[in-house]
């Protein structure tokens, strides 16, 4: 008898076909809407494999409803949507899709830096609204990236990829990480810096660390007051790392110059969020890994993790928590 798999969102047809050759597959057919919680709790009752996204909270309640479950395959690098500790206690393997989205996310991070610094979205809206009447010396002036100081918080794969891009723009690069990386310093020419010192020195601060309860609101009122008034904050990691209320007040009161955000504490962000009222914020709908090739590769890895485990083998990219 074929194993049973549930997929929580419509995935590329080629990956779906790969899974259906191996297993009996049920799938939530919507592309834009997450599976309702009530339906998810029903669908997991007789499955061995769960293919999910960050939009699904796979907590103790869900896992308890799935006594046959052997693997939760998350189509993402992050896994804060899953209670990994409880899953492991129940003998359920959790996997993610690291590595494949490194360069794509670094591209998006640098694009946010450029768009925010040079006020690209604001300038485009200015033109489209008919406000562009003439050229003037200080019209829509932004901040230079070339020669500026970039502070990277979290020197993992994506942080290193961002550093390589920044070198091409002649940036000075500082980084803070929970463990110092001497080899990376030599290879990339980056400088380790204590957290508070980085906040004080950097012109651009990029958050590229994984989310955990320990880093919830790592950047808040105290941290914004330590930054330069000309600083630009870029968050392509996870929304909960930044206190959004404190960010709004810092931007509104001129404590920092601007912010570029691909992630939010609540996703989708509420349209009445005060952050969306500010001209000095560039906002994106969590598209850090959204290139066609990258998303297809992520789906492929997630599918192969399920197939390997349900065949009795080892997962390709297991989540390991410390």
Residue 321 has pLDDT above 90, yes or no: no
163 & 209 share domain: yes
Tell me which residues are annotated as active site.
238, 267, 286
The stretch 236-256 carries a mean pLDDT of 97
Q: What is the pTM of this model?
A: 0.91
110 & 252 share domain: yes
Contact criterion met (CB below 8 Å) for 246 and 224:
yes
> What's the Cα-to-Cα distance from 283 to each of 122, 264, 271, rounded to whole Å?
11, 9, 12
Q: Is 97 helix (H, G, I), strand (E, B) or coil?
A: coil
- Residue 230 belongs to some domain of the structure: yes
> What's the Cα-to-Cα distance from 260 to each of 3, 221, 264, 281, rounded to whole Å?
44, 17, 11, 6
- Residue 222 belongs to some domain of the structure: yes
Q: Which residue stretches of 172-317 are H helix?
A: 182-188, 195-201, 221-226, 244-252, 292-310
Structural domains of the chain, count: 2
84 & 125 share domain: no
The mean pLDDT of the chain is 97
- Residue 318 belongs to some domain of the structure: no
Binned at pLDDT 50, 70 and 90, residue 322 comes out as: low
Contact criterion met (CB below 8 Å) for 147 and 203:
no
Residue 213 has pLDDT above 80, yes or no: yes
Per-residue pLDDT tens for 10-30? 999 999 999 999 999 999 999
Q: What share of the chain in percent tops pLDDT 70?
A: 100
d(CA 91, CA 84): 10
122 & 12 share domain: no
- Residue 321 belongs to some domain of the structure: no
Binned at pLDDT 50, 70 and 90, residue 263 comes out as: very high
Q: Which residues pair with 50 in a beta bridge?
A: 6, 72
* Full residue range of the structural domain in which residue 183 is found: 102-283
17 & 149 share domain: no
Per-residue pLDDT tens for 49-58? 999 999 999 9
Question: What CATH code is carried by the domain that includes residue 164?
Answer: 3.40.50.720
Contact criterion met (CB below 8 Å) for 143 and 232:
yes
Nearest to 313 by CA among 97, 100, 95: 95
174 & 124 share domain: yes
41 & 77 share domain: yes
Residue 254 has pLDDT above 70, yes or no: yes
What is the token pair recorded at 187? 């290879």
250 & 300 share domain: no
Binned at pLDDT 50, 70 and 90, residue 320 comes out as: confident
267 & 184 share domain: yes
CA 158 to centroid of chain Cα atoms: 10
β-strands 24-27, 204-207 pairing: unpaired
Per-residue pLDDT tens for 139-194? 999 999 999 999 999 999 999 999 999 999 999 999 999 999 999 999 999 999 99
H/E run at residue 282? strand 281-283
The stretch 129-140 carries a mean pLDDT of 96
3-state helix, strand, coil in the chain (%, to 5): 40, 15, 45
224 & 168 share domain: yes
Contact criterion met (CB below 8 Å) for 287 and 236:
no
Residue 285 has pLDDT above 70, yes or no: yes
82 & 123 share domain: no
Phi/psi at 248 (5° precision): -60, -50
What local confidence, expressed as pLDDT, does residue 127 receive?
A: 97
145 & 190 share domain: yes
Binned at pLDDT 50, 70 and 90, residue 227 comes out as: very high
């Amino acid at each position: 008898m074929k194993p049973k798999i549930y997929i929580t969102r419509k995935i590329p047809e080629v990956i779906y076909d790969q899974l259906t050759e191996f297993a009996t597959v049920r799938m939530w057919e919507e592309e834009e809407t997450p599976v309702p919680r009530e339906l998810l709790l029903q669908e997991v009752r007789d499955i061995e494999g769960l293919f999910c996204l960050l939009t699904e909270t796979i907590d103790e309640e869900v896992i308890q409803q799935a006594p046959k479950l052997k693997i939760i395959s998350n189509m993402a690098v992050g896994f804060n949507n899953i209670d990994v500790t409880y899953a492991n206690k129940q003998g359920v393997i959790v996997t993610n899709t690291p590595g494949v989205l490194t360069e794509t996310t670094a591209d998006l991070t640098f694009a946010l830096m450029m768009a925010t610094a040079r006020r690209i979205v604001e300038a485009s809206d200015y033109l489209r609204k008919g406000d562009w009447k003439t050229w003037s010396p200080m019209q829509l002036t932004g901040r230079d990236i070339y020669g500026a100081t970039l502070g990277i918080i979290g020197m993992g794969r994506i942080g290193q990829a961002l550093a390589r891009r920044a070198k091409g723009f002649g940036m000075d690069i500082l980084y803070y990480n929970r463990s110092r990386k001497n080899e990376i310093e030599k290879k990339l020419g980056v400088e380790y810096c204590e957290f508070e010192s980085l906040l004080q020195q950097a012109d651009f601060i990029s958050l590229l660390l994984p989310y955990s309860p320990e880093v919830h609101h790592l950047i808040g009122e105290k941290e914004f007051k330590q930054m330069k008034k000309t600083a630009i904050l870029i968050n392509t990691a996870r929304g909960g790392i930044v206190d959004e209320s404190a960010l709004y007040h810092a931007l509104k009161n001129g404590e920092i110059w601007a912010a570029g955000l691909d992630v939010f504490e609540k996703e989708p962000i509420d349209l009445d969020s005060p952050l969306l009222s500010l001209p000095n914020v560039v906002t994106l709908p969590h598209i850090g890994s959204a290139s066609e090739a990258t998303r297809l590769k992520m789906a492929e890895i997630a599918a192969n993790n399920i197939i390997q485990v349900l065949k009795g083998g080892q997962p390709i990219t297991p989540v390991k928590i410390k």
